[in-house]
Amino acid sequence: MKMNHIGIMVGDMEKAVEFYTQALGLTIVMGNTQVIEERESAIGRMCIAVFGEGFKGFNIAHLVTTDGIGVELFEMKERAERHDLDFSRLGIFHFCLQSDNFASVIEKTEQYGGKVRMDIMRYHPEDDSKPAKMVYLEDPFGNLFELYSHSYEETYASDYD
């Protein structure tokens, strides 16, 4: 199984594309595109099946990470301005990105309207040979994401060098 893409609800498509490209370094595959509710096309019928009758339309943009994972940004016509995190609900609550330029991503996250949620932490602070760091951040709309300095395997393996 491979990861293909994630979909993220945002409150302002222009600001979201700027944040995800300028702060996080993603690349645009398909820019802001308007989708309306209709039954004539396969996409129209699929959107009704997913969002239900009366969804009124949305804007969508497709971005990609440097390792080829897609990020779909959705700006619904009727939407909240921010994502309210509710940790009592089941479901996905964050995604995680990895960068060799850890400090710069944190700085750009704040510069482009995001938020740092915690101090940077090391998974193995007692062992200088295992420098993996992490931090939780938010995009400008309250969507939570984690940033890693090392790969998933390096971060959690008990014996990596």
Residue 65: per-residue pLDDT: 97
Contacts of 2 (CB under 8 A, 6+ apart): none
Residue 160: per-residue pLDDT: 54
**Cα dist. 146→39, 104, 118, 135, 136 in Å?**
38, 14, 10, 6, 4
CA 152 to chain centre: 17
CATH code, 5-156: 3.10.180.10
Residues of the chain with pLDDT under 50: none
Residue 123: per-residue pLDDT: 82
**Mean pLDDT taken over the chain:** 92
Residue 150: per-residue pLDDT: 94
41-59 per-residue burial string, b: 16 or more CB within 10 A, e: under 16: eeeeeebeeebeeebeebb
DSSP per residue over the chain, as a string?
----EEEEE-S-HHHHHHIIIIIT--EEEEEEEEE---SSSHHHHHHHHHH-TT---EEEEEEE-TTS-EEEEEEESS--SS----TTS-S---EEEE-S-HHHHHHHHHHTT-EE-S--EES-TT-TT---EEEEEE-TTS-EEEEESS-HHHHH-TT--
- pLDDT tens-digit profile of 22-68? 999 999 999 999 998 889 988 889 989 998 988 889 999 999 999 99
